[in-house]
Amino acid sequence: MNTSGSATMKESLKQSFKTFFRTPHKFLGNKAYLAVAAVYAGTYISANFTQTYLTHKERDPTGPKLVATTLTNSSMSVTKDSMFAVWFGATGAAKGGIMSVPIASW
């Protein structure tokens, strides 16, 4: 069952593939897809800009590239996740419920 409880994983994947192949413009224009694609694109641009710039300046881009991509990916992922929470609804503690944390995550 997915998070919303409306479909199993298999049903959800089947529907997503149907949408992708029958109406790709709807799939690729979906706000959730665009948010994930933006995170990927931002990280890619950050990595390539940093590497190109520092290589041009004849400096080793390894460390700065790691820092730049980590900061970009982390901040964009947090933003994307907050957008998902608004779009698809928060559950548990956000609605006043108590959420348990599995002991294995400690």
pLDDT at residue number 102: 74
pLDDT at residue number 78: 95
Average pLDDT per 10 consecutive residues for the chain, totaling 106 residues: 72 90 92 96 98 97 97 96 84 59 73
Rounded to 10°, the helix 31-56/62-88 angle is 170
pLDDT at residue number 74: 97
